[in-house]
Structure formats: structure tokens, C-alpha cells
Amino acid sequence: MVWQPKPGDKVYRPKREKKYRLRRVLGISSLFSVGYGDVGSSIYYALGIVALVAAGATPVALGIAGILFVATALTYAEGTSMFPEAGGSAGFARHAFNDTVGFISGWALMLSYIVTISISAYTIPPYLGYFWPALKDSPLHGTLFSMGIVVFLALLNIVGIKESSRVSLTAAVVDIIIQISILLLGLFFIFNISLVWQRITLYWPSPGNFIFGIAMAGVAYTGVESMSQMAEETKKPQVRVPRALILMIVVVLVLFSGISLTAFSAMTPAELAQDWARDPVAGIASAISSSIDPKAISERWSVDPTTELVIARLIEWFKGLLQPAVSILAATILLIASNAGLMGSSRLSFSLGSNKQLPPVLSRTSIFRTPYVAISLFSLIAMALLVPGIKFPGLFENMGAIYTFASLLAFFIAHFSIIMLRIRQPDAHRPFKLGLNIKILGRELPVSTLIGGIGALTVWLVLIVVQPVGRYVGLSWMAIGLAVYFLYRRFGRN
């Protein structure tokens, strides 16, 4: 006989354990905007960072780094389709190896994301300096303004991912339109292939600086991780994340190659590194404005005096519009990049906390179901990184080195994880599987992943040797993280 409660009886119902989950609200367009906000925005400062060390080899260094970017994006496409989690390469490594390797990758990425927040926010004031010169000329005003940006983005992300992704999507679309416009204007008015070649050869760096430049060029191609981190908040991530990654590959490579070559038509590598390091696209816009001659255009098309006057007025109006438009759009897309770094760091900490690799407080969510503790913590660290910008002139280059140290380490682990998954789980379901494989000991290994892994490791080792700030800060960060990890695993877990 089955017991049934009688009227008046109290029945105990155990409470279900509350699980922290993220909302699945993103589509391909939102994913693309997040990734493009990180990768596409870097053209607004990566040119200057690379030119500081690679000089005339800047376009070549960006091109070689672009090959590694394609290989890395394809690796993430396969990995994310297998494990649509908010972990990225940390998740790949955890499944391919163990929690410790996963944490190493995740902690390296954490540093990369934090520096992304800082370096993007740090680059916004020079572009807005067109309107308020103090933002470019005064380190104090620029740094305080950058800190205010980080605070604004932290509040936006605490409210919710869907709201912040709408900002990213709108700005990304407008920015792509502006970048294409700059490319077309640059090709028409200032592009000179012989001049570009002359400046490349005349300012070619030493072999050491060239290799270091390739390492620094990695700062331009790290947004693939941001897109992977959004998998747990994406509808049908096995399909949409790979498609968004492939779309980003095409758009970014076309724009980056065109912008870098146009920059060498607009200015010498020395001018790029010295005068326009933090706002190189503003330098291109300035050169285009200076090169447009209404009289030459009228003579070329043999127009009458009335038409010539109309053309002259239109060109003057356009020249007055170009530079402020570039300044506004650059600041906007850099805002997206800083936002993408904040989203990535908070979601990564959510993943690490959920998998008991970091204290669970970091995976605690708010009433908006967003990881507010992680957002607040990493926003504060990003703001702390900006403080030296008040007096330290080398902050820009050093932030780039730290950024590259962390991202290349994570990329190498991601590539190696996909290879190990091919070896250990050859029959696992892969909604997106890389082609062009070679067979080694009966296992199919993707060529692009092998190239990407070897390239990432090589460039990372070079960076370790030649850049002391990246070496010391990066290795110290990893040591602190591993100490926290092992102490938590030993004493903090229930």
C-alpha cells in the first residue's frame, strides 16, 4: 500500500540545488560582433605597436601573424563545436588532458582578457583627442577617461549580455562600413605600391626585431577566444560558432591587409611609430584629407566652372567630416573591444569556477543571471593596469607584450588539445571537423592545427627571450594563479 498524505499533514520537499546558468540569447550576428570587436578593433592600435619594433616589416609581420590567426580560428571552430561551453581553450584542454592543464590555459587567457580591457580603453582617448586635445596630450586626463570607460562597461555587463551585445553589433556594422570607405579612398587618392615597397625595404628591421614584430602582431588576432567563450550563451552553438568564426576570418584579413598597406602609403614607418602609434587610422584619414585636391579632380574630368565650384564645396565638406567620423568610429569599436575583453574574462571565470578550478564565488550570478562578482573583480584589475599610464611612456608597448604572452600560450594549448582529442577520441562527434588531415600512427591530424601550434609555440618562446616585461609579468601571473589553484584544490574544495 502506497502512503498518501492526509489533510493537515506537512510534507517535506527538499530544495533543489540552484545551478548557475547563462542565458542562450546570441546568434551569428552577435557572435561576429563580439569577435570583430576584439580582432577588428585591434587595427586601430596594432599597427602602431608592431611598427614600434618591426618598422618597415610591419605589413609582413601582420601577414604572417594572419596565417597563424586563420589556423587558430579553425582550431577553435572544431573545438567549440565539440564542447559548446563558456571555457574556450581552457575547456578544450580540460577535456583533452585534465583540470590542471585546463586551468593553465584559462589563467593565461584571463590575463589576455584583462589586458584587452585596458589596452582598448587606453587607446580610445587619443582618437577622441581630435575633439578634446587634452585626451591625447594629457596622460592624466586620458587615463582617468579610460578608467571611466571600464566602469561604464562593467555596469553594462552586469545588466546583461544581450544588452551589451546589441551595442557591439551596431558599432561593428558601422565600423566595417567606415573601414571599407577608408580603404577605397586610400586606394584612389594615396595608394602607391612602389612607395610602399620602398618604405618596406628602406626601414627593414634586424632579424630579431622582425621576429619580435611577428610576436607583437599577435595582438591583432586574439578575438577568436572571445567568440568561443560565448558558446554557452549561443543558440545552436555547434553550428553558429564555426560559421561566425569563418565569417570573421574573411572580413578581418581583407580589412587588415588593405589598411596596413594604405598606412605605408600615407606615412613612413617612423612617423607611424612616433606620431600615430596609438591612433594610426587617424593618421591615414589625415593623409587622405590632405591629398584630395578639388582643382586636380575638376581638371581630370574637364568640368565647367559651376560644377567645379560644387565639387570644391562637396570635397571641403567631406574633408571636414572624414577625420571626426574616423575618431568617433575608432573610439566606438575600441569600446567594443574593451567590452569583449570584459565579457570574456567574466565568462571564463564562470567556467573555471563551475568546474572547481577557481573559488565558486567567481561563478555567482546576479538577478540578471550574469557573473557580477567576476565582472567587478576583473574590471578593478583592468583599471589598476591603467594607472602607470599617467607617467610611464612605455606602457603601450609593454601591454602589447603581456597581451601576446598570454594569448599565444593559450593558443598553443588549444592547438595541442585538438590534436590530443583527435588521438584519444578519434570517433567523438565533431559537428565541425577540420579537413586537410595527415595520418600519423593511424590518427587523422589536421594540418592547420599542426601549423598553428608550432607557430604559436615558436613565437611565444621568442617573446619570452626578447621582451623582459612580457616575460616577468606573464610568468609571475602564471605562478600566482597556479599557487591559488593548488591551494584551493588542496584546502578549499568541499
Mean predicted confidence (pLDDT) in 28-53 = 75
For residue 138, give every residue at least 6 positions away whose Cβ sits within 8 Å of its Cβ, in sequence order, or none.
none
Mean predicted confidence (pLDDT) in 167-186 = 76
Q: Which three cell numbers stand for residue 108?
A: 593565461
Mean predicted confidence (pLDDT) in 141-154 = 90
Q: What is the pLDDT of residue 72?
A: 86
Condensed to tens digits (0 to 9), the pLDDT of residues 254-302 reads 888 888 888 888 888 888 887 787 788 888 888 887 777 766 666 666 6
- Could you tell me what percentage of the chain is helix, strand and coil, using 3-state DSSP and rounding each to the nearest 5? 80, 0, 20
More confident residue, 260 or 366: 260
Cα–Cα distance list, 229 to 469, 480, 482 (Å): 27, 23, 21
Question: In the predicted model, is pLDDT for residue 329 greater than 50?
Answer: yes
Q: Can you tell me the distance from the alpha carbon of 293 to that of 380, in angstroms, rounded to the nearest whole number?
A: 49
Question: In the chain, pLDDT over 90 holds for what percent of residues?
Answer: 13
**Chain centroid, CA 9 distance in Å:** 60
Mean predicted confidence (pLDDT) in 125-144 = 87
Residue by residue, DSSP assigns 209-260 as HHHHHHHHHGGGS-THHHHHHGGGGBSSHHHHHHHHHHHHHHHHHHHHHHHH
Q: Can you tell me the distance from the alpha carbon of 389 to that of 410, in angstroms, rounded to the nearest whole number?
A: 27
Question: In 310-324, which positions are buried (b, 16+ CB within 10 angstroms) versus exposed (e)?
Answer: ebeeebeeebeebbe
Q: Can you tell me the distance from the alpha carbon of 375 to that of 251, in angstroms, rounded to the nearest whole number?
A: 30
Q: What is the pLDDT of residue 417?
A: 93
The model's confidence at residue 89, banded by pLDDT at 50, 70 and 90, is confident
Condensed to tens digits (0 to 9), the pLDDT of residues 408-446 reads 899 999 999 999 999 988 888 888 888 788 888 788 899
Question: In the predicted model, is pLDDT for residue 349 greater than 90?
Answer: no
Q: Which of 93-97, 133-137, 269-273, 317-321 has the highest mean pLDDT?
A: 93-97
The model's confidence at residue 149, banded by pLDDT at 50, 70 and 90, is very high
The answer to whether residues 450 and 420 touch, using CB atoms and an 8 Å cutoff, is no
Residue by residue, DSSP assigns 286-333 as HHHHHH--HHHHHHHHT--HHHHHHHHHHHHHHHHHHHHHHHHHHHHH
Condensed to tens digits (0 to 9), the pLDDT of residues 211-245 reads 888 888 877 766 666 666 666 666 666 667 777 77
The residue among 135, 176, 165, 160 whose CA lies nearest residue 27 is 165
Question: In the predicted model, is pLDDT for residue 173 greater than 80?
Answer: no
Which residues make beta-bridge pairs with 446?
437
Condensed to tens digits (0 to 9), the pLDDT of residues 47-84 reads 888 888 888 899 888 888 888 888 888 888 888 888 87
Q: Is the dihedral of CA 361, 363, 367, 373 positive or negative?
A: positive
Secondary structure E strands in 69-186 = none
Condensed to tens digits (0 to 9), the pLDDT of residues 311-327 reads 677 777 777 777 888 88
The answer to whether residues 281 and 326 touch, using CB atoms and an 8 Å cutoff, is yes
Domain formed by 28-492, architecture? Up-down Bundle (1.20)
For residue 397, give every residue at least 6 positions away whose Cβ sits within 8 Å of its Cβ, in sequence order, or none.
49, 52, 53
For residue 126, give every residue at least 6 positions away whose Cβ sits within 8 Å of its Cβ, in sequence order, or none.
135, 136, 142, 278, 279, 282
Averaged pLDDT score across all residues of the chain: 79
Question: In the predicted model, is pLDDT for residue 138 greater than 70?
Answer: yes
The domain limits of the chain are 28-492
The model's confidence at residue 333, banded by pLDDT at 50, 70 and 90, is confident
The residue among 202, 197, 208, 234 whose CA lies nearest residue 22 is 234
Q: Can you tell me the distance from the alpha carbon of 29 to that of 165, in angstroms, rounded to the nearest whole number?
A: 9
Of 29-43, 133-147, 186-200, give the lowest mean pLDDT range. Answer: 29-43
Condensed to tens digits (0 to 9), the pLDDT of residues 242-257 reads 777 777 777 777 888 8
Question: In the predicted model, is pLDDT for residue 379 greater than 80?
Answer: yes
The model's confidence at residue 156, banded by pLDDT at 50, 70 and 90, is confident
Condensed to tens digits (0 to 9), the pLDDT of residues 448-462 reads 999 999 988 988 898
Scanning the structure block, which residue is given the C-alpha cell 590534436?
419
